[in-house]
C-alpha cells in the first residue's frame, strides 16, 4: 500500500462548559487552524515547523510543539517511528484564550499522523487518544466531530458522545481580550470537591441548558447559563467580567459565560440582536482599558476535515 505523503488538516475552535457543562459540554465554532503535514525523505531534524497567522511568533517550532507531540504520540501508539516531516501551521484561533487552541493542535497532529500512517485508527480511537492528551473531552470531541457535543464515560470507561441539538436562532457571540489565561492556571483555582447543593444546582441547569439550546426557549436559556462549579472561582481572574456580562445582558443576550477556561467571554443571543450584543461587549471591555475583538460566530457543523 502506498502511504499518503501529504495531508492538510483543518480543525475548528471550540467553546466549552457553556455555563453548567464543566468538562463535558462543548461546541465547534467558525474559526479554524490549518496543519499541513508533508513527508520528507531527508532532514537533520525530525520535524521542520513554520507558523503563520495570528500570534504566530508565540507557537513553538521545535519538537515540543503540541501538534508535533500529538503526531509523534500517534506513531508511538502504533509502535512505529514517526516519519520525518515538514509541518506548516496556519493560525486562525487565538492562543490560550478559552477557544480550544490546544485541542486544535492535538486533533490536528493526531489526524495528520493517522492519514500519513494509512488511516489505521478509527474516529473513536482518535477521540480516546485526544481526550487522554487534553485531559478532558469537551474541546477535543467537538473539534473532531463538529457541532455541539456532550461527552461522558460509559460503564466500561469508554466515551459515550451525544450530539446536542442547537436551535438555529441561537448565536454564539465571543469577546476575545488581548490577554491570555492558561487553562492550567484557571484549573488551579478550582476546589477539589463540591457540596451537594452545588452539584444539584449544576445538574438541573445543565439539563435546562440542553432543552434551551434545542428549543431556543428564552426563559430556560436565561436561567440555564448559571453555574457553581467553575465560574464563581474564575471570574475574578478575568478583569472586566462583571461589566461585560452586564453589557451583554442589557443588550438582550440570554446570558454570558466564560468560554472554556477563559478569558474569552461567550454570550448566547438571538440571531436578530447578536451583532448588537457583540458591540456592547466590546465597548464595555474597552471602557476597562482592554483591547478586544468581538464577533458573532456560528456553530461549525463539520469538525476536523482533511485534504490529501
Ligand atoms: N496551533 C498550535 N500549534 C501548537 N501548539 C499550540 C497551538 N495552539 C495552541 N498550542 C499550545 O497550547 C497552549 C494553549 O493551551 P491552553 O489549554 O492554555 O489554551 P486554549 O486551548 O486556547 O484554551 P481552552 O483550553 O480554555 O479552550 C499554547 O500556549 C501552545 O503551547
Ligand atoms: N473544561 C475545561 C476547558 C478548558 O480547556 C476547563 O474549563 O478547564
The confidence score (pLDDT) of residue 43 equals 78
The CB density around residue 38, as the number of other CB atoms within 10 Å, is: 17
283-300 mean pLDDT: 97
Is 104 assigned to a binding site? yes
Instruction: Give me the helices (H) in 148-263, please.
Output: 183-188, 196-215, 218-224, 231-234, 241-250
6-163+300-307: CATH topology is: Ribosomal Protein S5; domain 2 (3.30.230)
88 within 8 A of 8, measured Cβ to Cβ: no
The band of 208, judged by pLDDT with boundaries at 50, 70 and 90, is very high
**Residue with cell string 475583538:** 293
Is 108 assigned to a binding site? no
**Residue with cell string 466590546:** 282
Is 100 assigned to a binding site? yes
182-210 mean pLDDT: 97
The confidence score (pLDDT) of residue 44 equals 85
138 within 8 A of 25, measured Cβ to Cβ: yes
Is 215 assigned to a binding site? no
- Percentages (nearest 5) of helix, strand, coil residues in the chain: 40, 25, 35
67 within 8 A of 48, measured Cβ to Cβ: no
The confidence score (pLDDT) of residue 141 equals 98
> Per residue in 42-91, pLDDT tens?
878 889 999 999 889 999 999 999 999 999 999 999 999 999 999 999 99
Q: Which regions of the chain carry the CATH code 3.30.230.10?
A: 6-163+300-307
Distance CA 94, CA 29 (A): 13
The confidence score (pLDDT) of residue 248 equals 98
Is 97 assigned to a binding site? yes
Q: Which regions of the chain carry the CATH code 3.30.70.890?
A: 170-296
**Does residue 67 sit in helix, strand or coil?**
helix
Which atom of ligand 1 is closest in space to residue 15's alpha carbon? 27
Pocket test for ligand 2, best of 138, 206, 232, 233 (most atoms within 8 A of CB): 138
Instruction: Please tell me the distance between residue 66's alpha carbon and the centre of ligand 2 in angstroms.
Output: 17
193-204 mean pLDDT: 98
Cβ neighbours of residue 10 closer than 8 Å, sequence gap 6 or more: 32, 33, 34, 35, 304, 305, 306, 307
> Per residue in 226-276, pLDDT tens?
999 999 999 999 999 999 999 999 999 999 999 999 999 999 999 999 999
> Per residue in 5-44, pLDDT tens?
999 999 999 999 999 999 999 999 999 999 999 999 887 8
Dihedral (CA of 61, 100, 148, 272) sign: negative
**Does residue 43 sit in helix, strand or coil?**
coil
Task: List all residues whose CB is within 6 A of at least one atom of ligand 1.
Answer: 33, 59, 65-67, 89, 91, 95-105, 139, 182-183, 260-261
Q: Which CATH number fits the domain 170-296, given the four candidates 3.40.50.300, 3.40.228.10, 3.40.718.10, 3.30.70.890?
A: 3.30.70.890
Instruction: Please tell me the distance between residue 137's alpha carbon and the centre of ligand 2 in angstroms.
Output: 9
Whether ligand 2 lies within 6 angstroms of the CB of 139 is answered as yes
The confidence score (pLDDT) of residue 54 equals 84
150 within 8 A of 23, measured Cβ to Cβ: no
> Per residue in 130-172, pLDDT tens?
999 999 999 999 999 999 999 999 999 999 999 999 999 999 9
Whether ligand 2 lies within 6 angstroms of the CB of 187 is answered as yes
pLDDT at 1 exceeding the cut of 90: no
Amino acid at each position: 500500500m502506498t502511504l499518503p505523503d501529504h495531508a492538510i488538516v483543518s480543525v475548528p475552535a471550540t467553546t466549552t462548559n457553556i455555563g453548567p457543562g464543566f468538562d463535558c459540554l462543548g461546541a465547534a465554532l467558525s474559526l479554524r487552524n490549518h496543519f499541513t503535514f508533508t513527508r520528507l525523505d531527508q532532514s537533520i531534524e525530525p520535524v521542520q515547523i513554520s507558523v503563520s497567522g495570528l500570534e504566530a511568533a508565540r507557537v513553538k517550532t521545535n519538537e515540543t510543539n503540541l501538534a508535533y507531540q500529538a503526531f509523534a504520540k500517534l506513531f508511538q501508539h502504533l509502535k512505529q517511528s514517526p516519519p520525518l516531516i515538514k509541518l506548516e501551521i496556519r493560525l486562525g484561533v487565538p492562543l490560550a484564550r478559552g477557544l480550544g487552541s490546544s485541542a486544535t493542535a492535538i486533533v490536528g497532529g493526531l489526524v495528520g499522523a493517522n492519514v500519513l500512517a494509512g488511516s489505521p485508527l478509527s474516529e473513536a480511537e482518535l477521540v480516546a487518544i485526544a481526550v487522554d492528551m487534553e485531559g478532558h473531552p469537551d474541546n477535543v470531541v467537538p473539534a473532531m466531530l463538529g457541532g455541539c457535543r456532550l461527552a461522558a464515560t460509559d460503564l466500561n470507561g469508554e466515551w459515550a458522545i451525544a450530539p446536542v441539538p442547537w436551535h438555529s436562532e441561537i448565536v454564539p457571540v465571543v469577546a476575545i481580550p488581548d490577554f491570555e489565561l492558561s487553562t492550567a492556571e484557571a484549573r488551579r483555582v478550582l476546589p477539589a470537591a463540591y457540596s451537594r447543593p452545588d452539584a444539584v444546582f449544576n445538574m438541573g441547569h445543565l439539563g435546562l441548558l440542553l432543552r434551551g439550546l434545542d428549543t431556543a426557549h428564552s426563559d430556560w436559556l436565561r436561567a440555564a447559563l448559571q453555574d457553581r462549579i467553575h465560574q464563581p472561582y474564575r471570574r475574578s481572574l478575568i478583569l472586566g467580567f462583571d461589566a461585560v456580562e452586564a453589557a451583554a445582558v442589557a443588550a438582550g443576550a440570554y446570558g454570558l459565560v466564560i468560554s472554556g477556561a477563559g478569558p474569552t467571554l461567550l454570550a448566547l443571543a438571538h440571531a436578530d440582536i447578536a451583532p448588537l450584543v457583540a458591540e456592547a461587549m466590546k465597548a464595555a471591555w474597552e471602557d476597562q482599558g482592554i483591547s478586544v475583538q468581538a464577533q458573532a460566530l456560528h456553530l461549525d457543523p463539520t469538525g476536523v476535515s482533511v485534504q490529501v
